[in-house]
């Protein structure tokens, strides 16, 4: 019950924070003038009428010299319209300025862009977690021997290497010099074909090297701490071999903080791969976000900002909440 | 035994009469918190290495822009994508300003002819190896491969160049080629490297004589009696190796310029013209095209750009770190010291701020403030979330120390809140704050690099550039000129590595619980 209360409190706070940020964001965005790029062969009439129907502007009409004027709708009224449309119709607006997504519902485009981003993160977690944990366990078991020192050097190198540099090295060495992978990701929607998987790998590697180092460092620190604690001595005294004691007692206990960190890393990486997505031309959410910023497509910007804010907030509370679920000794919020 | 018992009382004496040892001052030197931290920091080899590398990078950022004549705004599109060249590697095949290139007979002749005419070898030492019939492997000099260009000068400039030629003995203007003899439909119609006979559809196929040599087709004219050489074009400084502008029987002269409506169209060696232009006309200290780290796709000198990018990054990061530290420390002190409702309210506020993604902040600021003040946008964005970490550590230290006896004693003696906060409690937090500042700097450079790379922030306006911009530019040439991204990447990686090592060393040194465990 305490746990339930605690979770509810955290989620409530999350929702409150999220709402405040999004309202601020909306107000700031709507204070800007609407940029409408009417292109060749496009009817300005339709465009302005559509914007008016969406409730973004009012009294749109054409002047004698051919330019359009309109009055601004008060921001709070726009916010009301926006929220009503989201909650009643599930409509997050439409694309205006990006030619490829013009007049398309932003939510559909967003959902369409999600698979590459999520897939790359899943692959990167699948590769990164075993290697990272393995390295960390090895380093902890061989503490202060040469294996440990070697792993430590590798960890500090991998952590310090910025993902841009890592991406460039991978792109140059594996994609260009050795030619093992294509330089950029294949286009198309067949995400589970072999060639698509192969073209995703450079980006996956660029992402997972950093997290490998993070997991390894964390695991090493946790495991060394557990290995030196007294119940390990007890386990050996009651007759367990070193392997048994390590596997059954030390590993399980050290997983308590490691597992939540994996979860939160997975969530956090969703928002952290903008550079990698743009470097390897991955048609994911990050690219869409950058495009929406560059072309001032506000509906896209709002939706994606909400997405990234939510991801960041969720990554924060996942750690705290999952501690309580994994380890029965920890019941947060218990008095 | 009996005898022993009867030792007279006077014979006993106190070991330490007079000076009592517990009143003595300790003869060893007291070791304070910071001294101890410094001592333990010095024992950490990684941290010392990090500190040395940081100092080197700092020196590079300070010195590099000073010791090169180039500026960030310098651009020369003809020397764009020039390979890096270091003078000490001149005689090796590495870092010599040349790129390995395989080419056919036509290109080989084209580049060899450049060196034959001017002595500035486009192909290193005029050496080439035939890897298969009609296909050659050479090392192509990125500077000299530009060779000759056509350029129209006004009369004053034309005369000034001749004056320069007479004074220095360096030839800038070379005999020109009649328009009828030039290849047509060249991509670059300023390309003046065809001074030999050509044929074919676009007249780019080279005609060889019986020995396999090229046949020069300089624009010549004959002099009537009594006429001075060069009068026709106003050219008085005739100098071509061995021939002194005279061709054949002493009556036929090379023509050095073709007069048209705007001036004199000359065939100039771009390398020599570059030297002339920078030493005589601009006088900006550039004596020759010499790019130790090569040039970007726009023709910027990477060494200079990297130096000033590094300088900008350091200054910017230090300012942001300092501001964050001050604000974070004050905020955290207040929240931690007063606690209760004030703390709760302040915590909520910083929670909300820290949840706003930096990307959104920067985008919104950029849209509202325009593109002119991007450094300020970046500053505000980093400031908005940067101080929260520091305020959290400070707050924690305050919670730890505010109820200790010595604080109570100070309060009993009448110390005001401000004095207790900053004189008694705050110094305890200083170590952790310094550490987090050391770790803020690389993370800021890192985010700045990412944002420049993504094109969200564009700091390379005027005389500023940033490491991220250089990397982004370099990535476009990754397959053809990998050095372009290499140097900025090395800089960034070294910086991150050294600051991480340094910061970790600081953290361990300031952590008293680790004392003696190393």
Chain B residues with CB inside 8 Å of A290's CB? 454-456
Q: Do the Cβ atoms of B401 and B425 come closer than 8 Å? A: yes
If you search the block for the tokens 């920067």, which residue do you land on? B362
Q: Which of B352, B455, B485 sits opposite A21 (nearest CB)?
A: B352
* Single residue among B240, B264, B290 that ends a domain in this structure: B290
Same-domain status, B270 and B402:
no
| CA A188 – CA A201 distance, rounded (Å) | 16
Q: Do residues B90 and B135 share a domain?
A: yes
Q: Is the domain of B380 the same as that of B416?
A: yes
Query: Do B315 and B234 share a structural domain?
Result: no
Residue A133 lies in a domain: yes
Please judge whether A290 and B454 are an interchain contact, meaning their C-beta atoms are less than 8 angstroms apart. Answer: yes
**In-domain check, residue A59:** no
Cβ atoms within 10 Å of B514's Cβ, excluding its own: 12
User: How far off is chain B from A26, nearest CA to CA, in Å?
Assistant: 10
Tell whether B341 is covered by a domain: yes
Q: Is residue A8 part of a domain?
A: no
Phi, psi of B251 (to 5 degrees): -110, -20
Nearest-CA distance from A131 to chain B in Å?
Answer: 22
**Best residue in B354, B444, B489, B497 to probe A by mutation, most A CBs within 10 Å?**
B489
Beta-bridge partner residues of B123: B140
* Position B42 in a domain: no
**Alpha carbon A171 to chain centroid distance?**
22
Residue B296 Cα distances to A61, A153, B76, B303, B457, angstroms:
49, 33, 10, 10, 19
Same domain (yes/no): B113, B246: no
- B38 lies in some domain: no
Q: Which of A310, A302, A307, A301 is nearest to A18 (CA)?
A: A310
The reply to whether B29 falls in a domain is no
Residue from the list A32, A162, A275 with its beta carbon closest to the beta carbon of B368: A32
State whether B311 and B234 are in the same domain.
no
pLDDT at A185 over 80: no
Q: Cβ–Cβ of A17/B497 closer than 8 Å?
A: no
- The pLDDT tens digits along chain B (518 residues) read 555 677 888 887 776 666 655 666 677 777 777 788 888 888 888 889 999 999 999 999 988 888 888 888 888 888 888 888 888 887 888 888 888 888 888 888 888 888 888 888 888 888 888 888 888 888 888 888 888 888 888 888 888 888 888 888 788 888 888 877 777 655 456 778 888 887 776 667 788 888 878 888 887 777 666 555 555 565 655 555 444 555 556 567 777 878 777 788 888 888 888 888 888 888 887 888 888 888 888 888 889 889 988 888 888 888 998 999 999 999 999 998 888 899 889 988 888 888 888 888 888 888 888 766 788 888 888 888 888 888 988 888 888 888 888 888 988 998 888 888 888 888 878 888 888 888 888 888 888 888 888 888 877 776 778 888 888 888 888 888 888 888 999 998 898 889 888 988 888 888 766 665 54
One-character DSSP codes across B137-155: EEEEETTGGG-EEEEEE-H
Identify the pLDDT of residue B323. 92
DSSP, res B281: I
Q: Go through chain B and tell me how many residues it has.
A: 518
Q: Residue A164 is nearest to which of B360, B364, B450, comparing CB atoms?
A: B450
Does B441 map to a domain?
A: yes
DSSP string, B63-132: HTTTS-S--TT---GGGTTPPPB-GGGTTSSSSBSEEEEEEEHHHHHHHHHHHHHHS--SEEEEEEEEEE
> Which residue range(s) make up the domain with A155?
108-326
Give φ, ψ of A256 to 5 degrees. -55, -50
CA B321 to CA B445: how far, in whole Å? 11
Look at residue B68 and tell me if it is in a domain: no
By CA distance, what is A32's nearest residue in B? B368
> Which residue in A209, A274, A293, A316 has the most chain B C-beta atoms within 10 A of its own C-beta, making it the best mutation to test that interface?
A293
Q: How many CB pairs under 8 A join A and B?
A: 98
Query: In chain B, whose CA is at the least distance from the CA of A34?
Result: B367
Q: Flag if A293 and B456 touch (Cβ within 8 Å).
A: yes
ipTM of the shown complex: 0.81
pTM above 0.90, yes or no: no
B466 shares a domain with B424 = yes
B252 DSSP 8-state letter: E
pLDDT for A256: 79
Q: Do B249 and B140 sit in the same domain of this protein?
A: no
Same domain, B98 and B226: no
- Provide the residue range defining the domain that includes B114: 85-145
Q: How far is CA A204 from CA A107, A133, B293, B402, B509, in A?
A: 26, 18, 31, 48, 36
Q: Is A172 close to B471, i.e. CB distance below 8 A?
A: no
| Full DSSP string of A263-306 | HHHHHHHHHH-HHHHHHTT--SHHHHHHHHHHTT-HHHHHHHHH
Measured CA to CA, the distance from residue A115 to residue A123 in angstroms comes to 12
Residue B468 within any structural domain of the chain: yes
The CATH number assigned to the domain holding A126 equals 1.10.3720.10
Kindly state whether residues B365 and B474 are assigned to the same domain: yes
Domain final residue, candidates B145, B162, B184: B145
Domain termination residue (choose one: B290, B317, B350): B290
Residue A56: inside a domain: no
Tell if the CB–CB gap between A162 and B360 is shorter than 8 Å: no
Block residue for tokens 């005609």? B207
- A76: number of CA atoms within 13 Å, CB side? 0
Provide the domain count of chain A.
1
Min Cα–Cα distance to chain A from B454, Å: 7
Q: Residue holding tokens 């908005």?
A: B384
In a domain, A79, yes or no: no
Cα–Cα distance measured from residue A78 to residue A17, given in angstroms and rounded to the nearest whole number: 21
A60: part of which helix (H) or strand (E)? strand A57-62
Q: At residue A131, does pLDDT exceed 90?
A: yes
By a Cβ cutoff of 8 Å, what residues of chain A touch chain B? 13, 17-18, 20-21, 25, 28-29, 31-32, 156-157, 159-165, 168-169, 171-172, 176, 183, 271, 274-275, 278-279, 289-290, 293-294, 296, 301, 305, 308-309, 312-313, 316
Contact call for B454 and A275, based on CB within 8 A: yes
CB contact under 8 A, B367 and A32: yes
The answer to whether residue B419 is domain-embedded is yes
Tell me which chain B residues have a C-beta less than 8 angstroms from the C-beta of A154: none
- Mean pLDDT for all residues in chain A: 82
Phi/psi class of residue B140: alpha, beta or left (left: φ > 0; alpha: ψ in -120 to 50)? beta
Which residues, in sequence order, are CB contacts of A87 under 8 Å at separation 6+?
Answer: none
Whether B381 and B286 share a structural domain: no
Cα–Cα distance, A132 to A212 (Å, whole number): 4
Q: Do B489 and A278 touch (CB under 8 A)?
A: no
Gap between the Cα atoms of B253 and B150, Å rounded: 20
Domain count for chain B: 3
Task: Find the chain B residues whose C-beta atoms sit closer than 8 A to any C-beta of A.
Answer: 46, 351-352, 355-357, 359-360, 363-364, 367-368, 446, 449-450, 453-456, 468, 471, 474-475, 478-479, 482, 485, 489, 492-493, 496-497, 500-501
Same domain? B277 vs B307: no
């Amino acid at each position: 019950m305490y746990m339930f209360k605690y979770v509810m409190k955290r989620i409530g706070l999350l929702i409150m924070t999220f709402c405040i940020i999004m309202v601020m964001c909306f107000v700031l965005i709507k204070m800007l003038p609407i940029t409408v790029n009417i292109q060749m062969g496009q009817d300005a009439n339709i465009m302005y009428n559509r914007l008016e129907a969406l409730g973004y502007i009012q009294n749109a009409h054409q002047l004698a010299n051919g330019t359009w004027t309109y009055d601004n709708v008060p921001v709070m009224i726009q916010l009301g319209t926006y929220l009503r449309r989201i909650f009643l119709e599930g409509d997050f607006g439409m694309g205006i300025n990006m030619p490829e997504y013009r007049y398309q519902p932003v939510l559909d485009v967003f959902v369409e862009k999600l698979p590459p981003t999520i897939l790359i993160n899943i692959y990167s977690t699948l590769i990164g977690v075993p290697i990272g944990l393995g390295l960390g366990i090895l380093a902890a078991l061989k503490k202060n021997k040469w294996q440990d020192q070697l792993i430590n050097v590798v960890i500090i190198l991998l952590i310090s290497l910025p993902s841009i540099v890592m991406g460039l090295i991978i792109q140059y060495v594996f994609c260009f010099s050795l030619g093992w992978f294509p330089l950029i990701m294949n286009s198309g929607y067949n995400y589970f074909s072999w060639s698509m998987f192969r073209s995703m790998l450079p980006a996956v590697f660029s992402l997972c090297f950093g997290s490998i180092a993070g997991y390894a460092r964390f695991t090493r620190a946790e495991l060394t701490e557990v290995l030196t604690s007294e119940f390990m001595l007890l386990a050996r005294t009651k007759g367990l071999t070193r392997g048994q004691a390590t596997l059954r007692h030390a590993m399980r206990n050290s997983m308590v903080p490691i597992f939540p960190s994996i979860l939160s890393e997975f969530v956090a990486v969703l928002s952290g791969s903008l550079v990698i997505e743009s470097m390897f031309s991955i048609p994911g959410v990050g690219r869409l976000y950058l495009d929406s910023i560059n072309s001032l497509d506000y509906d896209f910007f709002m939706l994606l900002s909400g997405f990234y804010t939510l991801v960041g907030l969720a990554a924060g509370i996942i750690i705290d909440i999952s501690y309580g679920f994994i380890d029965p000794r920890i019941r947060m919020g218990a008095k | 035994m009996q005898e022993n018992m009867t030792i007279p009382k006077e014979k006993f004496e106190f070991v330490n009469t007079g000076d009592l040892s517990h009143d003595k001052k300790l003869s060893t030197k007291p070791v304070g918190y910071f001294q101890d931290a410094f001592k333990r920091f010095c024992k950490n080899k990684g941290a010392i290495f990090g500190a040395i590398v940081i100092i080197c990078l700092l020196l590079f950022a300070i010195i590099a822009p000073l010791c090169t004549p180039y500026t960030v705004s310098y651009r020369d599109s003809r020397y764009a994508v020039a390979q890096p060249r270091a003078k000490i590697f001149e005689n090796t095949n590495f870092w010599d300003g040349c790129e390995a290139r395989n080419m056919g007979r036509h290109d080989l002749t084209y580049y060899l002819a450049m060196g034959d005419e001017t002595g500035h070898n486009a192909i290193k030492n005029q050496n080439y190896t035939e890897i298969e019939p009609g296909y050659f492997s050479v090392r192509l000099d990125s500077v000299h491969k530009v060779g000759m260009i056509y350029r129209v000068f006004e009369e004053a400039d034309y005369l000034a160049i001749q004056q320069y030629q007479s004074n220095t003995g360096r030839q800038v203007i070379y005999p020109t080629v009649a328009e009828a003899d030039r290849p047509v439909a060249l991509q670059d119609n300023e390309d003046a490297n065809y001074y030999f006979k050509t044929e074919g559809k676009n007249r780019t196929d080279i005609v060889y004589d019986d020995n396999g040599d090229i046949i020069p087709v300089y624009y010549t004219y004959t002099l009537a009696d009594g006429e001075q050489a060069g009068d026709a074009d106003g050219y008085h400084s005739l100098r071509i190796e061995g021939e002194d502008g005279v061709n054949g029987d002493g009556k036929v002269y090379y023509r050095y310029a073709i007069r048209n409506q705007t001036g004199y169209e000359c065939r100039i060696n771009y390398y020599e013209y570059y030297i002339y232009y920078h030493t005589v006309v601009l006088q900006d200290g550039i004596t020759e095209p010499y790019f130790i780290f090569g040039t970007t796709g726009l023709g910027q000198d990477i060494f200079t750009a990297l130096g000033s990018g590094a300088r900008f990054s350091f200054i910017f990061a230090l300012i942001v770190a300092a501001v964050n530290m001050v604000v974070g420390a004050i905020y955290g002190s207040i929240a931690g010291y007063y606690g209760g409702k004030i703390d709760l309210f302040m915590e909520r506020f910083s929670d909300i701020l820290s949840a706003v993604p930096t990307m959104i902040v920067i985008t919104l600021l950029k849209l509202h403030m325009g593109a002119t003040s991007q450094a300020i946008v970046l500053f505000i964005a980093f400031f908005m979330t940067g101080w929260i970490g520091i305020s959290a550590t400070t707050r924690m230290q305050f919670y730890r120390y505010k109820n200790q006896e010595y604080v109570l004693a100070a309060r009993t003696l009448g110390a005001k809140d401000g004095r207790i906060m900053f004189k008694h409690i705050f110094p305890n937090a200083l170590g952790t704050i310094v550490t987090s500042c050391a770790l803020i700097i690389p993370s800021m450079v890192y985010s700045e690099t990412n944002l420049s790379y993504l094109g969200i922030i564009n700091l390379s306006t005027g005389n500023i550039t940033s490491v991220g911009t250089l990397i982004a530019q370099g990535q476009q040439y990754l397959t053809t000129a990998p050095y372009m991204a290499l140097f900025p990447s090395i800089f960034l990686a070294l910086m991150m590595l050294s600051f991480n090592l340094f910061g970790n060393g600081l953290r361990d040194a300031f952590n008293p619980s680790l004392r003696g465990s190393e």
